[in-house]
Amino acid sequence: MPSSQLRIAMLSAHSCPVGKLGTKDTGGMSVYIRELARELGKQGHLVDVYTRVHDPKDRQIYELNQNARLIHLRAGEDEEIQKLAVYFHLPEFVSNLENFKKQNDLQYDLIFSHYWLSALAGVYLQQWWHVPHIIMFHTLGAVKNAIEERDCLVPGESEPELRIETERDLVQKCHHIVAPTEREKTELIRHYGASSEKISVVPCGVNLEQFKALDKTQARQYLGFACPPHMKYGGSQRNNDKIILFVGRIDPLKGLDKLIKALPYLRHIQGLRLVVIGGGEHSQHEIERLRKLACDFKIQEAVTFLGLAKHEQLPYFYSAADVCVVPSYYESFGLVALESLACGTPVVATDVGNLKSIIRQGKTGYVLKDNAPHRLADKIALLLSRPSTDTKSARLIRATVSKFSWSNIAEAIIRDCQLVLANYLTPVS
Ligand code: UDP
């Protein structure tokens, strides 16, 4: 084993890194864990990602690449369960993990856990294994609640006090926290009293080999995009359609209702369509609410809910679109914007997550102070009035996000791990 090689136990108890993206509980965090584990493996580190069995068909071990594995452990029934219910199965998850480690004679240098539920499991393991524990929260309960309260979103679905108190406790007990943005670092300090020295800021990444600009016409043909015959806004020349793309979990926090409400301001644009990617069975209720909203505004024919798309298919959607919109109330980071820009498609987004540092105002899109429909419409119209993105401009847009390659991100994470390990191993005098 090379001396610089790290053996990392990554915990993702509730969400499977190879699960169906775009469903209620599987999104950016799963992409992050899967891509980071693969890249760390590529760089010669050994990574085991532990998650619970979500389906009886799950194999216990999946090779993510030659050095990175995904390991399924039983924790409750072998099925999808409510995120919060995973809390009650964490003792089983931890003890199965410990048994797996013993049976396979495994040793780890550190634990890297994702989301508060996994971090809680990680706190037990850090004590048993005597190794440092790094947490990435991905979202913070206190911040979600503050936003839901401020914007009156879905009353009754707020994050439980259990989560808030656990997160507050975890920031004290762990050895280090990775925040994807300066904003999250500030929130960790403000809401939970985390110590600033304990937090490093490392952004999320994008797979630049996968997310590439493709020819718009070919991408549209590949996807079979055509106007519905009686479309109110459109003509029948599919290549002249103006396509607005939304990609993400269908969750009120994503602000998709605001984007739908923006469409009536854009009535004058010929061939305008909003294509929505994401969903799954647990999102039907929210999709129905949004469909009804589109009907109320008499724009239902301009809105298409396409359901889930495979991550590998998304470069076609981003390339086919004229603009991608991220109208969220809250993002921990905002991977969709990064993916869209990597495909050369401009983005209109609210000022959430890391979007201000990803999007170049007026050049690769617009970041707005909020998701007010008229403001979204204004900037979407501005982008749509420009000549369609050609290869050269797509290349220029893509170049602005090249520093977010997973290899750069993995190197930054390893530097953090090595520092944390060095501090952990140095006895306090
Ligand atoms: N995604 C996908 N298929 C879908 C919907 C979403 O692959 O049908 C992916 C999307 O490409 C992105 C992730 O899910 O990589 C969502 O990440 P983001 O950070 O934008 O949002 P989060 O889920 O973390 O709120």
Q: Does residue 308 have its Cβ closer than 6 Å to ligand 1?
A: yes
- Parallel, antiparallel or unpaired: strands 176-179 and 61-65: unpaired
What's the rounded mean pLDDT across residues 14-42? 91
The pLDDT score that the predictor gives to residue 233 is 35
Give Cα 385 distance to the centre of its chain: 30
Separation of CA 248 and ligand 1 centre (Å): 5
What is the pLDDT confidence band of residue 232, given thresholds at 50, 70 and 90?
Answer: very low
Task: Decide if pLDDT at 379 tops 90.
Answer: yes
Q: Does residue 325 have its Cβ closer than 6 Å to ligand 1?
A: no
Looking from the CA of residue 353, the nearest atom of ligand 1 is 19
What's the rounded mean pLDDT across residues 299-316? 95
Using an 8 Å Cβ cutoff, are 291 and 305 in contact?
yes
- Parallel, antiparallel or unpaired: strands 61-65 and 68-73: antiparallel
Sequential DSSP letters for 326-345: E--S--SS-HHHHHHHHTT-
Residue 268 has φ and ψ, to the nearest 5°, of -70, -15
Q: What is the pLDDT of residues 170-181, one digit of tens each?
A: 999 999 999 999
Q: Is 205 exposed, middle or buried (0-12, 13-18, 19+ CB in 10 A)?
A: buried
Using an 8 Å Cβ cutoff, are 271 and 234 in contact?
yes
| Host H or E run for residue 421 | helix 406-425
Sequential DSSP letters for 120-139: HHHHHHHHHHT--EEEE-SS
pTM listed for this prediction: 0.94
Q: Does residue 27 have its Cβ closer than 6 Å to ligand 1?
A: yes
Nearest CA, atom 6, ligand 1:
22
- Parallel, antiparallel or unpaired: strands 176-179 and 272-277: unpaired
What's the rounded mean pLDDT across residues 29-36? 97
What is the pLDDT confidence band of residue 80, given thresholds at 50, 70 and 90?
Answer: confident
The pLDDT score that the predictor gives to residue 422 is 96
Q: What is the pLDDT of residues 175-209, one digit of tens each?
A: 999 999 999 999 999 999 999 999 999 999 999 99
The pLDDT score that the predictor gives to residue 239 is 65
Quick count: other Cβ atoms within 10 Å of Cβ 67? Answer: 19
Separation of CA 379 and ligand 1 centre (Å): 23
Q: Does residue 314 have its Cβ closer than 6 Å to ligand 1?
A: yes
The pLDDT score that the predictor gives to residue 238 is 58
DSSP, collapsed to helix, strand or coil, labels residue 386 as coil
Question: Helix-strand-coil percent breakdown of the chain, rounded to 5?
Answer: 45, 15, 35
Task: Decide if pLDDT at 3 tops 80.
Answer: no
Separation of CA 213 and ligand 1 centre (Å): 18
Separation of CA 275 and ligand 1 centre (Å): 15
Task: Decide if pLDDT at 1 tops 70.
Answer: no
| Residue of higher predicted confidence among 6 and 158 | 6
Task: Decide if pLDDT at 123 tops 70.
Answer: yes
| Residue of higher predicted confidence among 221 and 260 | 260
Q: Which of 336, 345, 347, 352 should be mutated for ligand 1, with most atoms under 8 A from CB? A: 336
Q: What single letter denotes the amino acid at residue 150?
A: R
What's the rounded mean pLDDT across residues 95-120? 98
Q: Does residue 114 have its Cβ closer than 6 Å to ligand 1?
A: no
Task: Decide if pLDDT at 346 tops 80.
Answer: yes
Separation of CA 180 and ligand 1 centre (Å): 16
The DSSP bridge partners found for residue 276 are 246, 305
Distance CA 154, CA 121 (A): 30
> In the numeric block, which tokens belong to residue 336?
């969709």
Helices then strands, counting H and E runs in the chain, come out as: 15, 14
> In the numeric block, which tokens belong to residue 93?
């998850």
Separation of CA 21 and ligand 1 centre (Å): 6
The pLDDT score that the predictor gives to residue 391 is 81
% of the chain at pLDDT higher than 90: 81
The overall average pLDDT reported for the chain is 92
Q: Which of 138, 314, 324 should be mutated for ligand 1, with most atoms under 8 A from CB? A: 314
What's the rounded mean pLDDT across residues 259-277? 96
Q: Which domains does the chain have, with CATH numbers?
A: 7-205+405-423 (3.40.50.2000), 216-402 (3.40.50.2000)
